[in-house]
Amino acid sequence: MQNNLNYTFPNKLKTLSFIMMAIGAVAIAAGFATHHEQTWANIMHNNFYFLAIALGGLFFYAVQYAAEVGWSVYVIRIPLAMSQFLWVSGIIMLIIFLAAGHHIWHWTHHELFVETLPDGKPNPEYDEILAGKSAYLNVPFFLIRMVLYFVIWYGFAHLLRKHASAEDMSGAGEHYQRSRKLSIVFLVLFAVTSSTSAWDFVMSIDSHWFSTLFGWYTFAGIFISSLAVMALIIVYLRKQGYLQHLNENHLHDVGKFMFAFSIFWTYLWFAQFMLIWYANLPEEVTYFMVRQDYYKTLFIVNFLINFILPFLILMTRDSKRKLLLLTLLGTTLFIGHWIDTFLMVIPGVMNEHWTIGVFEIGTTIGFMGLFIFVVFNALSKLSLLPTRHPMLAESEHFTL
């Protein structure tokens, strides 16, 4: 089949991405101008969400190499492009922490750690629990960790892309082997950093609260949201006349991953919720009480559209092989995990004073524009198909 393997980032889409970024900029600027209290929290929410999508892409890519996967060779350039967004997330995260750290992370208020004031009187602000955590939750250590995460993540995204590009040029088998080794090292580091970064960026927003499962729960969300976006990009590229080499068997496997990991996410969501609800310990259950009291609709919708919908729709074989249904589900899961991330980030900052309105939607549109610009730009720089991948033939002849 005649195939265009080199993607050109069309001007129309480029312009659209700029317009979206402009909408985002206006929404954020207007938020600040009107003293909309949720503005920084919105930036944090969206930045973490798109960071998750990019990081999940890198995880998917690395797993394909580490596990010597054959079928996915036709699609792996897409998660690789998604991972190139990581440096943008890193810079925005740094800006958020430096400019609005006190607003989002309550524990950054240093005075909470001091038991007695200089005049010898007890500090009325003193927070015993946060003082206990201060060896971990303190500004310098947090900054070091944050920089380290992004250096590691983006570093691997960059190196893996370099080898992919070199493989296209020379076709030497060493690039496959090197990518494999890099992927394995990345996965080991990811096993640790995916949990610790979830504690740092998200769990510490609700600064008293803790849950041992939180890191893995966040990982499940990272993976499923990146799968949803990956499916959407595949569908879009197909519609534009690219990726014609893909057949419905490849789509079927992407669909199966979405099906399996939406159930996996639900499993962890339920495990965390049920155990805390059942034990009903005051130091743990407050987290869900806030979300049930003030965010009830979102809380229920979160469960319904991230579990029930994909479960019922993706159950049949046909639904995983049709572009239209995959688009529908990709979009649903994208919105669903936007809500899940909202419920992870916003309540800790805003409590009951939250909204979802033009500022929130506008900020998300802005981040989407930025993501589209960076990711499609990365896609256009590299062939859509790794034509010299040693497993290429397996993916080409792949049938279920």
Partner 1 sequence: MSNVESSLRPALILGDKTLHDITEDVCRPIEDKPNKYWWMAFGLASAIFLWWLLAVTYTIGTGLGVWGLNKTVGWAWDITNFVWWVGIGHAGTLISAILLLFRQKWRLSINRSAEAMTIFAVICAASFIVVHMGRPWVAYWPFPFANQFGSLWINFNSPLVWDVFAISTYFSVSLVFWYTGLIPDFAIVRDRAKTKARKFWYTILSFGWVGSAKNWQRFEEVSLVLAGLATPLVLSVHSVVSMDFATSLVPGWHTTIFPPYFVAGAIFSGFAMVQTLLLITRKVLNLEEYITIYHIDMMNRIILITGSIVGCAYLTEFFIAWYSGVEYEQYAFINRATGPYWWAYWSMMTCNVISPQLMWSSKLRKNLFMTFFLSIIVNIGMWFERFVIIVTSLHRDYVPSSWTMFHPTWVEIGLFIGSLGLFFVPFLLFTRFFPVIAMSELKTILKSSGSQSKKGATHE
Question: Smallest gap, in angstroms, from Cβ of residue 228 to partner 1?
Answer: 20
Stretch that binds partner 1, among 24-32, 51-59, 86-94, 279-287 (CB under 8 A): 279-287
Decide if residue 1 touches partner 1 (CB under 8 A): no
- The alpha carbons of the chain give a radius of gyration, in whole angstroms, of 22
Contacting partner 1 (CB under 8 A), which of 48, 61, 214, 299? 214
Contacting partner 1 (CB under 8 A), which of 84, 108, 193, 272? 272
Q: CA geometry: angle at 166 spanning 164 and 168, to 5°? A: 75
Q: 328 to 387, contacts with partner 1 by CB under 8 A?
A: none
Contacting partner 1 (CB under 8 A), which of 9, 18, 126, 136? 136
Q: 154 to 173, contacts with partner 1 by CB under 8 A?
A: 173
Decide if residue 149 touches partner 1 (CB under 8 A): no
Q: Show the tokens assigned to 267.
A: 């499993």
Decide if residue 211 touches partner 1 (CB under 8 A): yes
Stretch that binds partner 1, among 29-37, 48-56, 92-100, 213-221 (CB under 8 A): 213-221
**Measured distance CA(73)–CA(82) in Å, rounded:** 16
Decide if residue 37 touches partner 1 (CB under 8 A): no
Stretch that binds partner 1, among 7-15, 111-119, 131-139, 356-364 (CB under 8 A): 131-139
Residue type at 3 in one-letter notation: N
Q: Are 190 and 59 in contact (CB under 8 A)?
A: yes
Decide if residue 239 touches partner 1 (CB under 8 A): no
Contacting partner 1 (CB under 8 A), which of 16, 100, 271, 323? 271
Decide if residue 276 touches partner 1 (CB under 8 A): yes
Stretch that binds partner 1, among 76-84, 232-240, 256-264, 349-357 (CB under 8 A): 256-264
SS (H, E, C) the chain: CCCCCECCCCHHHHHHHHHHHHHHHHHHHHHHHCCCCCHHHHHHHHHHHHHHHHHHHHHHHHHHHHCCCCHHHHCCHHHHHHHCCHHHHHHHHHHHHHHHHHHHCHHHCHHHHCCECCCCCECCCCCHHHHHHCCCCCHHHHHHHHHHHHHHHHHHHHHHHHHHHHHHHHCCCHHHHHHHHHHHHHHHHHHHHHHHHHHHHHHHHCCCCCCCCHHHHHHHHHHHHHHHHHHHHHHHHHHCCCCCCCCHHHHHHHHHHHHHHHHHHHHHHHHHHHHHHHHCCHHHHHHHHHHHHHCHHHHHHHHHHHHHHHHHHHCCCHHHCCHHHHHHHHHHHHHHHHHHHHHHHHHHHHCCCCCCCHHHHHHHHHHHHHHHHHHHHHHHHCECCCCCCCCHHHHHCCCC
User: Phi/psi at 116 (nearest 5 deg)?
Assistant: -120, 145
Q: Which is nearer to partner 1, 276 or 368 (CB)?
A: 276
Decide if residue 288 touches partner 1 (CB under 8 A): no
Q: Which is nearer to partner 1, 283 or 293 (CB)?
A: 283
Q: 170 to 209, contacts with partner 1 by CB under 8 A?
A: 173, 177, 188, 191-192, 195, 199, 208
Q: Which is nearer to partner 1, 133 or 322 (CB)?
A: 133
Decide if residue 282 touches partner 1 (CB under 8 A): no
Contacting partner 1 (CB under 8 A), which of 14, 133, 145, 238? 133
Decide if residue 393 touches partner 1 (CB under 8 A): yes
**Measured distance CA(152)–CA(190) in Å, rounded:** 9
Decide if residue 283 touches partner 1 (CB under 8 A): yes
Give the number of residues in contact with partner 1, rule: CB under 8 A: 46
Question: Smallest gap, in angstroms, from Cβ of residue 187 to partner 1?
Answer: 9
Decide if residue 128 touches partner 1 (CB under 8 A): yes
Binding residues vs partner 1 (CB under 8 A):
68, 70-71, 128-129, 132-133, 136, 173, 177, 188, 191-192, 195, 199, 208, 210-216, 256, 260, 263, 267-268, 271-272, 274-276, 278-279, 281, 283, 390-391, 393-394, 396-400
